[in-house]
Amino acid sequence: MRCNWFPKASCITHYSTRPLQNIVQPSVVFRNTPTHCLRVNLRQKTSAFVLHRSVSTSIQRSTFSDPFDTSDHLLSGTNTNEHDLTPSQLSRAVWQSVRLALQTQDLHTAYIIVESARLSNKPLLHNAPSKRYRASGIEFYRPVSSRLAGHALVHGLLRLGLPRRAQVAAKILMDNGVPLNPKTFEAVLEALVTSDGNIPRSTGNELFNFLKTLLPKSTILSLNPTFTGGRGSRAALHLFMSARNMKQQQRTERMYRTLIGSFLFHGELIAASLLITIILKDCAVRDAIGRQLASPDIKEDAKLEQESLVHYRFLRRSSPSPPFDILKDLVESIAGVLSRDPVEDDAYQISFQAALQALANLAYLFDIRQIPYSHLSSLIRLLYNCPKGDDLVWVTKIDGHPVQVKAYDYFHHVLERIPNKLLTRWKPVLDNSRPLDLPACNSLLHYALRHRLSPSYANNILQYMQDPFWKHSGYRRPIPNTVTYNIILSAGRLLRSPIMVDTVLRMLKDMNEHGLGTIDLSPTASPANFDLTRGSSNDRFSSALRRLGSESHELSLPCPPTTKKFGADTHTLTAYITYLVSVGRADVVPNILFGLLPELAIVDHPSWGDLGPEQIKHLRQQSRMDCLRRVVAYGPYFFVAILNAVVKDGRTGLAERVWYLAKEAERASWLPEFNHGREPWCLPVHAYTLMLVCYGNESRK
């Protein structure tokens, strides 16, 4: 009976039945009749031709001069192993069949051949063949590797623009224990993500409606492909999760970038944060095993050590750590949503709550010390700058159960616990944190002094920066820089703490930087009526004030290294001038004004303060263009600080001179020849208010 399961196989079987009628032991069965009457021996000379006519040509050229000469190899009633195809030759024959079928866009043939190779390995029942295949499949009587054929099918479907079918084929391969080549996996993920188009899904209502029903539920803490709105992205995430459950499948950084980049592009922050959470937890397990291998306890059990070593090496290959810029992009995307101006709109409220939930996922990772990066200053700043409100987020408790908490309170509780969890030694546990770098320490220092109003918290950070742990940690010790001293100087003004300010200024005076040596650094007392311990209210601010009054303001501030170039900048001068005004010492500023700002000489104004003729002549010799280039870099708040000081000291003439210079610098900041790539700026409303106050005071004299 003639085969009719598909045209090519029909032609093949019709041609091949004549030379193979006397073969006794079959290797391939074409199922096209109820009795399966057609049986073919898979011999070295003819099996490739049986699978696909075009495949036989390539194999026969490499093996025989005459592929159809069977007189020497066909044995009556017997079958010898020496003439059979080797497993590798058979696998290549099947691969060639699939490849050539896809070249002619014969998908049905390609699917049948790959499915036949898969079923020859007796796979699991959940991937059993369909009824359609049972009527037309090929039965191999020995296992045939489907790795090459499966990859050929996946690549062919991608070339034909069928990424969803390629995803299904790839998942079937992994379900049957065949790992995908990492490059093939990357190509499938990129094709799936690209199939969703270049229009962000966050602009539509479908995602918002879905998040509206999802945010109140605790299931939002478990990553699910339905968290993304695109069909291609859902398929890509489903395939990635299948690869995570397969031990042999390797993941790469490019896969992380593809998936998380797609989520961020479409505004799906929760999916991105949950995915990076899963990846970092896998890395935590890997690194914990690595630390256990270094511990002396495991050396006693050689078998356990060998098993752990094998598992660790596999995890290093299959679960690489994601690069930091992926986390940085996620933090920037969350910050972009949280920094928007609030509007009375459902879409804004839902996107705001989704951003808070994504930030809560990262805060939870930070709290359990499973973020393997040192430079976390952007995440720390985002946590303490989160807008205050009553929005709720889901987090996981210590016992593993989800609970809803207020986002603002939770973020600050996480930051409060950081000093007790700063890494000073390695532990063979799931603590996968890294020592914090200098920007991260500066961010924590800012939080301690400006938000917590706690010198004790700040001291913990400063002592951490000087811990002996750094000598043998392999990481660079965070050496205080200008930013560190500026933070303490600004906090000294806010806390009315002369001790903090004097400590910083004495260090800067020793370097004789930018006119600071001319400032009187004698300690200035706080106002007499400023009592930090007063007040009976139980609110957060009153409690912070009482704690501030009870804590010592002495900071263990390390001296800057003598080998490192270090000095005051514009922020240092602004902070100190503001501090002088806040403690009633505004009279100091006019006396040193031309030393701090010699560029005032280019302003045509009769007021020169207390300068003599020789000093005025020297200042007038400056180049106007060079002076403008320098003052543009000072920024608007530097001029506001000086205006505030001279106005409160009653120096109207000097205030006008500073005002004219500030306006010229403002105009110059918008010209390319002056700003040198800096952002242009405008004077804030505070400067105009100060000048109005100045002229108002002058009119009342």
The tens digit of pLDDT for each residue in 14-36 reads 333 333 333 223 333 334 333 33
Half-sphere exposure of 112 (CA within 13 A, CB side): 25
Q: Per-residue pLDDT averaged across 471-484, rounded?
A: 84
Q: Same domain, yes or no, for 599 and 547? A: no
The answer to whether residue 46 scores a pLDDT higher than 50 is no
Q: Same domain, yes or no, for 557 and 592? A: no
Q: Per-residue pLDDT averaged across 580-597, rounded?
A: 82
Higher pLDDT, 133 or 7: 133
The answer to whether residue 163 scores a pLDDT higher than 90 is yes
Q: Are 478 and 437 in contact (CB under 8 A)?
A: yes
Q: Same domain, yes or no, for 124 and 215? A: no
Instruction: Give me the pLDDT at residue 423, please.
Output: 62
The residue range of the domain holding 124 is: 7-176
Q: Same domain, yes or no, for 670 and 548? A: no
700 CB neighbour count, 10 Å cutoff: 6
The answer to whether residue 396 scores a pLDDT higher than 70 is yes
Residue 376 lies inside a defined structural domain of this protein:
no
Q: Same domain, yes or no, for 96 and 43? A: yes
- CA dist., res. 105 & res. 112, Å (int): 14
Q: Are 547 and 535 in contact (CB under 8 A)?
A: no
Q: Same domain, yes or no, for 155 and 207? A: no
- CA dist., res. 548 & res. 538, Å (int): 15
- CA dist., res. 266 & res. 154, Å (int): 27
Joined tokens for residue 107: 């998908």
Q: Which residue has the tokens 């010592």?
A: 552
Residue at a domain's end among 371, 404, 427: 371
Higher pLDDT, 362 or 89: 362
Q: Mean pLDDT highest for which of 9-18, 32-41, 447-456?
A: 447-456
Q: Mean pLDDT highest for which of 34-38, 587-591, 682-686, 697-701?
A: 682-686
Kindly report which listed range (133-142, 451-460, 553-562) carries the lowest average pLDDT score: 133-142
Look at residues 382, 335, 377 and name the one whose alpha carbon lies nearest to residue 483. 377
Residue 367 lies inside a defined structural domain of this protein:
yes
- CA dist., res. 575 & res. 581, Å (int): 10
Name the strand (E) or helix (H) holding 210: helix 206-214
Alpha-helical segments (H) within 319-401: 324-338, 346-367, 377-384
Look at residues 68, 171, 54, 144 and name the one whose alpha carbon lies nearest to residue 106. 54
Residue 422 lies inside a defined structural domain of this protein:
no
Q: Give residue-wise pLDDT tens across range 488-513.
A: 988 888 887 888 888 888 777 766 54
Q: Which residue has the tokens 């001296």?
A: 559
Higher pLDDT, 211 or 339: 339
Q: Same domain, yes or no, for 550 and 594? A: no
Q: Per-residue pLDDT averaged across 433-450, rounded?
A: 91
Residue 415 lies inside a defined structural domain of this protein:
no
Q: Same domain, yes or no, for 126 and 68? A: yes
Phi, psi torsion values for 573, nearest 5 degrees:
-65, -40
Instruction: Give me the pLDDT at residue 560, please.
Output: 67
253 CB neighbour count, 10 Å cutoff: 13
Q: Tell me the percentage of the chain whose pLDDT exceeds 90.
A: 29
Q: Same domain, yes or no, for 303 and 330? A: yes
At 48, is the secondary structure helix, strand, or coil?
helix
The answer to whether residue 608 scores a pLDDT higher than 70 is no
Q: Per-residue pLDDT averaged across 57-62, rounded?
A: 40
**138 strand-pairing partners:** 30
Q: Are 220 and 357 in contact (CB under 8 A)?
A: yes
Residue 473 lies inside a defined structural domain of this protein:
yes
DSSP-assigned letter for residue 551: S
- The torsion region of residue 650 among left (phi > 0), alpha (psi -120 to 50) and beta comes to left
Give the amino acid at 434.
R
Pairing label, strands 392-396, 39-40: unpaired
Residue 420 lies inside a defined structural domain of this protein:
no
Give the amino acid at 65.
S
Residue 617 lies inside a defined structural domain of this protein:
yes
Q: Same domain, yes or no, for 93 and 222? A: no
Residue 347 lies inside a defined structural domain of this protein:
yes
Distances (CA, A) of 668 to 569, 584, 632, 636, 674: 21, 33, 7, 12, 6
The answer to whether residue 199 scores a pLDDT higher than 90 is no
Higher pLDDT, 378 or 529: 378
Q: Per-residue pLDDT averaged across 518-544, rounded?
A: 54
DSSP-assigned letter for residue 599: G
Residue at a domain's end among 148, 176, 204: 176
Residue ranges with strand state E in 193-341: none
Q: Give residue-wise pLDDT tens across range 323-359.
A: 999 999 999 999 999 998 888 888 888 999 999 999 9
Q: Same domain, yes or no, for 126 and 20? A: yes
Instruction: Give me the pLDDT at residue 429, please.
Output: 54
Residue at a domain's end among 371, 396, 422: 371
Half-sphere exposure of 287 (CA within 13 A, CB side): 20
Q: Is the Cα torsion angle 541, 542, 545, 550 positive or negative in sign?
A: negative
- Torsion, Cα of 508, 513, 516, 521 (10° steps): 30
Q: Same domain, yes or no, for 131 and 226? A: no
- Torsion, Cα of 502, 464, 331, 312 (10° steps): 170
Give the amino acid at 572.
T
* Domain count of the fold of the chain: 4
Instruction: Give me the pLDDT at residue 481, please.
Output: 86
Q: What is the average pLDDT score of the chain?
A: 77
Name the strand (E) or helix (H) holding 413: helix 407-416
